[in-house]
Homo-oligomer: A and B are copies of this chain.
Amino acid sequence: MHINQQQREGFYEVLFGRRDVRREFLPDAIPDEVLQRILLAAHHAPSVGFMQPWDFIVVKDVHTRRAIKQGFEQANDESAAMFDGERKEAYQQLKLEGIEEAPLGICITCDRQRTGNVVLGKTIKPEMDLYSAVCAAQNLWLSARAENIGVGWVSILHDQVLREALKIPANLEIIGYFCLGYVKAFQQTPDLERYGWQSRRDPKQAIHYEQWGNQQAD
């Protein structure tokens, strides 16, 4: 199927309009048909050996989300202590999650044994299954944006908190916990850039030609 100019423009609006949302969540429920579209899109991520190692745990219960929030607060205090001086103060000013404000959370896991011990494409790089599950996360994030739903990836959280709150078996890896909800607005600029934490790298610096370090196109 040929993608035309109009479809491509729609795609890029979604891609460049995606943000990591923490403070703009609205409490409005996400209709089940919208949630199912987002999860189906995540399920259509690429995966090594077509092993589709991901699972999605959908969390709406307020008590569960409160327990996860408490886990975040503890992990965030530990994290703040790793920064010094002004940087520590700046860190503590940032809002880094919307676990209780967003009406819905999704935990993505990875089953590294799915389809057996020897998996096509994972024979040389064993981390490929984890990377497949991350591709599902990025599909989920972009699809949510296409549905005008904000997503925030909460990584300041010990796996054990999610494992206990969501009864995740010990043999599964935890990729991440994502907050989803409609938003007051999508910001134009990432929060960490807007608040002066870190600036965007010049894309030219990220591109090399033929060999590492050669940044002039021929």
**Measuring CB to CB, which residues of chain A are less than 8 angstroms from any residue of chain B?**
1-3, 6-18, 20, 32, 37, 39-41, 43-46, 48-52, 54-61, 64, 75, 78-79, 82-83, 91, 94, 96, 109, 115, 118, 120-125, 127-128, 130-131, 134-135, 137-139, 141-143, 145-148, 153, 155-159, 166-169, 172, 175-176, 186, 190, 192-193, 197-198, 200-201, 203, 206-213, 217
- Given A8-B10, A91-B120, A124-B156, answer yes or no on A142-B145 (Cβ-Cβ < 8 Å): no
- Given A10-B8, A120-B91, answer yes or no on A131-B128 (Cβ-Cβ < 8 Å): no
**Residue in A8, A9, A127, A153 with the greatest tally of chain B CB atoms within 10 Å:** A8
A52 close to B206 (CB less than 8 A): yes
Name the contact of A208 in the complex, choosing from B41, B49, B57 (C-beta under 8 A). Answer: B57
C-alpha spacing A6/B10, complex, angstroms: 7
Q: A7-B14, A20-B46, A168-B212 are in contact. List 5 more A-B contacts (CB 8 A).
A: A1-B13, A32-B217, A57-B208, A61-B210, A131-B134
Name the contact of A210 in the complex, choosing from B58, B130, B175, B211 (C-beta under 8 A). Answer: B58
Name the contact of A169 in the complex, choosing from B39, B83, B212 (C-beta under 8 A). Answer: B212
Q: Supply 15 A–B pairs (Cβ within 8 Å), ascending by A.
A: A1-B13, A1-B17, A3-B145, A3-B147, A10-B10, A11-B11, A11-B14, A12-B146, A15-B142, A20-B46, A50-B190, A64-B210, A125-B155, A134-B138, A135-B141
